[in-house]
């Protein structure tokens, strides 16, 4: 990550503008690493001002894929805090910039959830997940929309 991903201008620009970056060296902070359930690196957490985890990225990712995951993380952070317009803008951007990728599929999933959480309109959730199924029929995120109903 330090060799390629973090020095990449796209990654650095995203971090500079949108998050507070903290580097925790595990050998000097074993208790903290245990508290955050870090059993493997790279291990990146998106957290709030109380340290609560909103999103996690495990394993190496190259710059474009890392920015996509970070964007999803910031979107989840906003969604969890009820900042629905900000979350929707973030998920829309990921779905557009990272179309045809796993991140694009996940973005469409959470975009539909965000619209639903904002207005509690089931039609928004349904139409958003239908778009996901059309564009990503083989994605696990599409599978996650197929909620069985009691007969």
Pick from 5, 10, 4, 26: which is nearest to 98 by CA?
Answer: 10
Q: Which span (43-51, 97-105, 108-116, 124-132) binds other proteins, by CB under 8 A?
A: 43-51
How many Cα atoms occupy the beta-carbon half-sphere of 60 within 13 Å?
A: 6
CB nearer to other proteins: give 54 or 118: 54
Rounded to an integer, what is the distance from CA 8 to the centroid of its chain? 20
Task: Provide CB contacts within 8 A for 64, sequence distance 6+.
Answer: 10, 98
Give the span between the Cα atoms of 52 and 20, in whole angstroms. Answer: 14
CB nearer to other proteins: give 40 or 150: 40
Q: How far is the CB of 60 from other proteins (least distance, A)?
A: 12
Instruction: Tell me if 11 sits within 8 A of 67, measured CB to CB.
Output: yes
Q: How far is the CB of 93 from other proteins (least distance, A)?
A: 16
| Site for other proteins, residues 91 to 150, rule: CB under 8 A | none
Instruction: Tell me if 95 sits within 8 A of 111, measured CB to CB.
Output: yes
The torsion angles phi and psi of 139, rounded to 5 degrees, stand at -80, 145
43 binds other proteins (CB under 8 A): yes
Q: Which span (3-11, 89-97, 114-122, 136-144) binds other proteins, by CB under 8 A?
A: 3-11
Q: Which span (72-80, 113-121, 128-136, 143-151) binds other proteins, by CB under 8 A?
A: 72-80
1 binds other proteins (CB under 8 A): yes
Contacts with other proteins by CB under 8 A lie at 1-2, 6-7, 9, 12-13, 15-16, 18-28, 32-33, 36, 38, 41-51, 54, 70, 73-74, 77
């Amino acid at each position: 990550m330090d060799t390629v991903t973090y020095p990449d201008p796209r990654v650095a620009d995203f971090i500079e503008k949108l998050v507070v970056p903290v580097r925790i060296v595990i050998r000097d902070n074993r208790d903290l690493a245990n508290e955050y359930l870090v059993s493997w690196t790279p291990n990146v957490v998106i957290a709030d001002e109380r340290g609560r985890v909103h999103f996690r990225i495990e394993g190496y990712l190259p710059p474009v894929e890392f920015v996509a995951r970070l964007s999803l993380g910031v979107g989840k952070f906003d969604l969890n805090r009820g900042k629905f317009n900000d979350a929707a803008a973030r998920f829309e951007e990921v779905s557009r910039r990272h179309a045809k990728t796993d991140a694009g599929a996940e973005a469409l999933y959470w975009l539909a959830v965000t619209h639903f959480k904002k207005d509690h309109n089931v039609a928004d959730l349904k139409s958003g997940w239908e778009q996901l199924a059309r564009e990503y029929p083989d994605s696990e995120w599409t599978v996650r929309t197929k909620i069985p109903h009691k007969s």
